[in-house]
Structure 1
Amino acid sequence: MASLNVYSVLVVLFLTCGAVMATKENDQIIKENNCETKMGFRYVLEAFTSIFETASISNMCCSELVVLGKGCHSALVKRTLGNPLFKDLSPATITAKSIQTWNNCLALIDSPSPSA
């Protein structure tokens, strides 16, 4: 539970302050597409822990992530990786987890719902 609180603080810090080392391209994508306001905080935290930790992602969060869009998703992940707080993480591993999360959510949203 303490780990979740630490990540909550980090996500709030990330969303309010932004990453100091962000590239102009990612910042421009994020700003032009209002990426930081398209998902509710609960889903931002869930997606974040799914990518940067080992947590599962709910169907509702997947729906929110797909609505956010791949461009926003990628730019936000890249900006997070540029944050000095995450300098010890492997960019290749995080990028792979980010792509896997995106593809899993996209497949889930695109698959037909079972009839009731």
Structure 2
Amino acid sequence: MAKFNSKITMIFIIVALGCAFVPAFSVEDSEAKSLWDTCLVKITPKCALDIVAVVFGNATFPDSCCHDLVQEGKVCHDTLIKYIADRPALIARESQYLKKSNDLWSHCVAISKTA
């Protein structure tokens, strides 16, 4: 059963990232281009996957990705998480995802200040 849940979680993460990063599914074309140009280019794909896995799943976040997250910026981070959380399948738990997102941000800011 654990393997089944793990596979479902990975599929969910891939679909969520697809919705977030593919303009046709997430936002209007001009908004998507603006997000891409200002936000998504600042973070590695691996760290982006890790963020989604933490916020929308139960993964642990590697401290090594905190630099990327903080460099991306709070506005970009919040906007991208909100776009994913606004999907019809996720909207019911949006407040939970936004709290996890804020907790992750706070953790990374604290890590960045000590580094």
Q: Which amino acid aligns with 1:30?
A: L
**1:1-116 alignment runs, 5 A limit:** 1-18=6-23, 20=25, 22=27, 30=35, 33=38, 35-88=39-92, 90-112=93-115
- Higher RCO (C-alpha under 8 Å, 6+ residues apart): 1
List alignment gaps of at least 5 residues for structure 2.
1-5
Which structure shows the bigger proportion of residues in helix conformation? 2
Aligned length: 109
Q: Which amino acid aligns with 1:36?
A: L
Q: RMSD between aligned alpha carbons?
A: 2.6
TM-score relative to the length of structure 2 = 0.76
SS in 1 for 2:105: helix
> Are the counterparts in 1 of residues 43 and 69 from structure 2 also a CA contact under 8 Å?
yes
- Offset at 1:16? 3.9
TM-score relative to the length of structure 1 = 0.75
> Are the counterparts in 2 of residues 50 and 56 from structure 1 also a CA contact under 8 Å?
yes
Moved over 3 A (4+): 18-23, 26-29
List alignment gaps of at least 5 residues for structure 1.
none
Q: Which amino acid aligns with 2:82?
A: K
Distance 1:18 1:82, change over 3 A: farther
Query: What do residues 4-35 of structure 1 show as CA deviations (whole Å, max 9, x unaligned)?
Result: 53145214412442475659xx75862562x1
Amino-acid identity (%): 20
